[in-house]
Amino acid sequence: MSEVLLTLSTRPAQAEAITDWLLEENLPGFSSWLAWGHSNRNDQLTLAEQIQGKQKRMMIGLHLPQDQAQQMLQKLRANFAHYDVHYWLQPLLDFGRL
């Protein structure tokens, strides 16, 4: 079974609820980090973000089997449909501990 990296990008104010939910899902773990999002969709940016040309985002990354990632996305859609979440899946060539 192939493993994938599921990455979520959301607003910092929404990230805590998502990470709390992920912790309740009994996953082996995930990482989160602060990032800047850049977009030409100004209708989704505040005036300050439009002036700066960027939006603060929280990234959440977890790797898991591809079928589990698809199930996780379905649950996320059901629980956080009203949140501003962008996601992507990437195949993992290798992973492990050194």
Q: What is the pLDDT of residues 15-43, one digit of tens each?
A: 999 999 999 998 888 999 999 887 766 66
Write down the pTM of the prediction: 0.86
Are 60 and 22 within 8 A, CB to CB?
A: yes
Dihedral over alpha carbons 83, 21, 79, 57 (to 10 degrees): 20
Architecture of the domain made up of 3-91: 2-Layer Sandwich (3.30)
Q: What percent of the chain has pLDDT over 70?
A: 86
Cβ burial of 39 (10 Å; 0-12, 13-18, 19+) is middle
